[in-house]
Amino acid sequence: MADFLASIDAGNLTLAAIIDRMVEKSTETLKSLNIDQGHKGLTFVLAGFSQGPFIAQISNFEDEKMQRLTRVDQQFHLSVLRMNPAASAKPEKSFGWMV
């Protein structure tokens, strides 16, 4: 993955562009592998701060709530969780996340 990020000059791209390219490259790469589809499940998780805290998940076998799908999909999908601003008003409470 580090080689891929370097090859797309990730330091000069927006976070959205990097994630879009990761989705495309992951789908392309796993489709080309000559192994059983059931063994091609993969999830990338990115966490950071861009317009507030976020968690981005790129996966072909987990849904937006990070629950396993019934089968591995050939296409990767993106889910983004952002911190719920209402939950952050009270720091003693745990983080509240919204899809």
Least confident of 71-75, 80-84, 89-93: 89-93
Name the residue with higher pLDDT: 66 or 73: 73
Residue 70 has pLDDT above 60, yes or no: yes
Task: Tell me the per-residue pLDDT of 19-51, one tens digit each, with 9 for 90 and over.
Answer: 899 999 999 998 899 989 888 999 999 998 877
Residue 56 backbone phi and psi in degrees, to 5? -110, 135
Provide the 3-class DSSP secondary structure of residue 19: helix
- Asked if residue 88 lies in contact with residue 95, where contact means CB atoms within 8 angstroms, the answer is yes
- What pLDDT score was predicted for residue 59? 94
Start-to-end CA distance of the chain, whole Å, equals 26
How many CB atoms sit inside 10 A of residue 40's CB?
17
